[in-house]
Amino acid sequence: MIFIEPIQSLAYRKNHQGVITMRRTAAVAMTAVTLGAGVGLTAVPASAAPAERKATKSWVTFDGKKGSIWRTIRGKGTYTRNGDQITVSGWLRDTKVNGWGPGVQFRVWRDGQWHVDRKYTYVKYVSSGKPVDKINYNLGKIWTGTGTHLQVREVAVKVSNKNKQKSGAWKKLF
């Protein structure tokens, strides 16, 4: 057991080596405190480690080649990671009436393979169920899932036949 005399009480000692005694005691005290802190840090259990923080970042789909269908379609928004849980929110925009409505699709890396969301998100008319052409629309919360990597791609949905779609290239988000 180490006993450390408080440094403040040494200031009132009156002897011919008072200054030397104070310096030595201060050095011993600092060494003992440093060693004690080191032992304390190694004794902290792993469960006391800080939890992984929630991280929110923005995402946007690729901008296609000039004159292509991908140039007029855009998806953007934010995603939040909390451990391996992912929540995605966003907007869809189509700037031109061309017979194709905007959509997005996500995939995550989990269990050693890519898991593609079989559904793609797009905006449709309530009355007819057909995809909307030329729109700027806030979808709110689009998708949730678990994984260690996330990718997004644009999907163009044919207005006359929602079962016909074209898919763009995957873009890595993390």
Domain coordinates of the chain in residue numbers?
A: 7-47, 55-172
* More reliable by pLDDT, 66 or 168: 168
Inform me whether the pLDDT recorded for 10 exceeds 50.
Answer: no
Over range 72-92, report the average pLDDT. Answer: 93
pTM over 0.75: no
Domain 55-172 has CATH 2.60.120: no
Q: Which residue has the tokens 């992984």?
A: 52
Give the pLDDT of residue 37.
52
